[in-house]
Amino acid sequence: MLLVQIHKNAKPWRRVGGYFLPISNVEDGLALASRWAHLLEKGENNPIRYVSLVNIEEDHPVALVNRWLAPDQLSSRFAPLSTISAILHEQLKAIDYNAIRIPQGTVNGLVPGKRSVNRSLTTMPRLVVGKSIKGNQILWTRLLSEFSNTVAA
């Protein structure tokens, strides 16, 4: 399964407890990553600059969550990806990626009158890894700015 992770430094967080966004395809994943980065950004001194594309196997332990959870709340939720694949694919099909794309000319990715889109991101599926991601599972890491033209609507 393909996942994306947004991060501040050039190296993604690969350890247990890392949050990743499951995606159906790279183009939609970049739109989702770009929107999340804009919503999570905390000023120019703390920007989210990078996105990594990761591939994990069906036996990789993960927890499917729709909100941030403390580490002690996660330990009992880890299961092989294969056991939650059907539920995850249904949740991914329900996402309206066109509504998520950041229209050109917006400030910090905030769209007037689109609060429901911004809020809906917080309930989207996320995978927390229960085992560290190996280096060869990271397909690439790039600057989010490389994709600014391709993810705007």
Across the beta sheet with 61-65, the strand order is 79-80, 61-65, 126-129, 19-22, 2-7, 50-55, 138-143
Tell whether the model's pLDDT for residue 39 goes beyond 60: yes
Tell whether the model's pLDDT for residue 127 goes beyond 80: yes
Prediction pTM value: 0.80
**Helices then strands, each counted (H, E), the chain:** 6, 7
Please report the sign of the dihedral spanned by the C-alpha atoms of residue 126, residue 127, residue 133, residue 138. negative
Query: Could you give the 3-state DSSP secondary structure of residue 80?
Result: strand
Domain map (residue ranges) of the chain: 2-148
pLDDT tens figures, 47-98: 888 999 999 999 999 999 987 777 778 878 899 999 999 999 998 888 877 7
